[in-house]
Homo-oligomer: A and B are copies of this chain.
Amino acid sequence: MNVTNSEIRRNEILGAVIEAYVAAASPVGSALVARKLREALSPATIRHIMVELETIGYLEQPHTSAGRVPTAQGYRWYVDRIMEVPRLSSEQVRALGAPLAHGEGDSAQVLARAGQALADLSQEAAFVVAPTVKQSRVRHIELVPVGVHKMLCVVVAEGDVVASHVIEVEEPLDRDEASAVARAASAELAGLPVAELLGALEQRLLGEQDVLGEAMKQALAILQNVLAGEPAGRLLVEGARYVVGQPEFQRQPQRAEALLEGLDAEGPLLERLHADLGTGAVRVRIGQEIGVPGLEACSYIVAPFAVGRGVVGGVGVLGPTRMDYRRHSALVQAMARAVTELLTDGEG
């Protein structure tokens, strides 16, 4: 009881410090916390507890006579144990999602709008990990000759994820041949995970016993080509300007450069995000935890959304470690739900 009581108070004060720091971006002193706290405590008492929080490693002082600043560990504790994320009602979610449906359009357009909306609402950078055919199952394949040695190849996967490329082919097929081949390929391959397809194609190309012979072999080669060119994931970033405008980045402009570099590289961040999305839950990564060069001073919150069966994408917010985790968690979660609802409704 005793211990618990003091722990509760610690958490309250840590929460107050973090919230004040998030709001003002400058070290928080005991007097300010005393004012903010509902329980009436003197600054002196609060200082005592702040010393404790500092020895645990949740707070630190930039210098002796400054207030306290949360550490990454402090944020982590806050996110895991202290903050309460207001769960938005379905109605609120719907309201959030409404502007996304504006003019409906393609799922790609919906996702782009979701990213923009999230950036504008959070005043941070927002990102969308767009679903890619490679994570999904084949639903339909289409081949259309376009010009003499060119072929339009479209792979439609579940969730209306589309990969379309115009590629060069050596032996032209005419329109009917192409159509027949595509139809056969569709029938044959529908339902297969695209990722497995790549291997399967290889085998089939070696097998040489297809009903449609040469033409089918060629089609499969084309398909392989198309899928090989498709990225393993696509990262869409909106509103990096908001982050660059944050005081920590204005004060240290090289950080802004590092941030943009980290975002441009794309690969490492995407990898990390995919790992987090695999868990199926909202995830928060704080500072170094991200493990992507250039993003050491940042945190992100990401939530998965579904399109059809299975998790296939994510939306999130990326900002300085000093970000409003509570508000943004709610936002991200809601946006993920809205996107899921919007993109899944047409499905089985």
CB <8 Å contact, A164 and B168: no
- In the assembled complex, 29 residue pairs joining A and B whose CB atoms fall closer than 8 Å, in A order, are A104-B167, A104-B168, A106-B165, A106-B166, A106-B229, A107-B166, A142-B142, A142-B154, A144-B154, A144-B156, A146-B156, A150-B160, A150-B346, A152-B154, A152-B156, A156-B166, A160-B166, A162-B166, A164-B164, A238-B264, A241-B257, A241-B260, A241-B264, A244-B257, A245-B254, A245-B257, A253-B253, A253-B256, A256-B256
**Chain B hits for A251, CB < 8 A:** 253
Where the two chains meet, the residues of A that have a C-beta atom closer than 8 Å to any C-beta of B are 103-107, 109, 139-140, 142, 144, 146-147, 149-150, 152, 154, 156, 160, 162, 164-168, 179, 229, 238-241, 244-245, 249-251, 253-254, 256-257, 260-261, 264, 346-347
A290 to B55, CA, bound (A): 55
Pick the residue among B146, B164, B245, B260 that contacts A140 (CB under 8 A). B146
- With A164-B164, A264-B241 as contacts: A146 and B152 at CB distance below 8 Å: no
Expressed in whole angstroms, the minimum distance between the Cβ of A136 and any Cβ of chain B is 13
Question: Given contacts A103-B229, A106-B165, A168-B346, could you give 10 more A-B pairs where the C-beta distance is less than 8 Å?
Answer: A104-B167, A139-B147, A144-B154, A146-B160, A152-B162, A179-B179, A239-B264, A241-B260, A250-B253, A250-B257
**Chain B hits for A106, CB < 8 A:** 165-167, 229
- With A162-B164, A250-B254, A264-B241 as contacts: A149 and B346 at CB distance below 8 Å: yes
**Which residue of chain B has its CB nearest to the CB of A254?**
B250
**Chain B hits for A139, CB < 8 A:** 146-147
Pick the residue among B160, B164, B168, B239 that contacts A154 (CB under 8 A). B164
**Chain B hits for A154, CB < 8 A:** 142, 144, 152, 154, 164
**Chain B hits for A147, CB < 8 A:** 139, 160, 346-347
A249 to B162, CA, bound (A): 40
4 tightest A-B contacts by CB?
A241-B260, A160-B166, A250-B253, A106-B165
**Which residue of chain B has its CB nearest to the CB of A260?**
B241
- With A154-B154, A253-B256 as contacts: A105 and B165 at CB distance below 8 Å: yes
A245 to B258, CA, bound (A): 9
CB <8 Å contact, A261 and B249: no
**Chain B hits for A140, CB < 8 A:** 144, 146, 152
Expressed in whole angstroms, the minimum distance between the Cβ of A25 and any Cβ of chain B is 14
**Which residue of chain B has its CB nearest to the CB of A261?**
B241
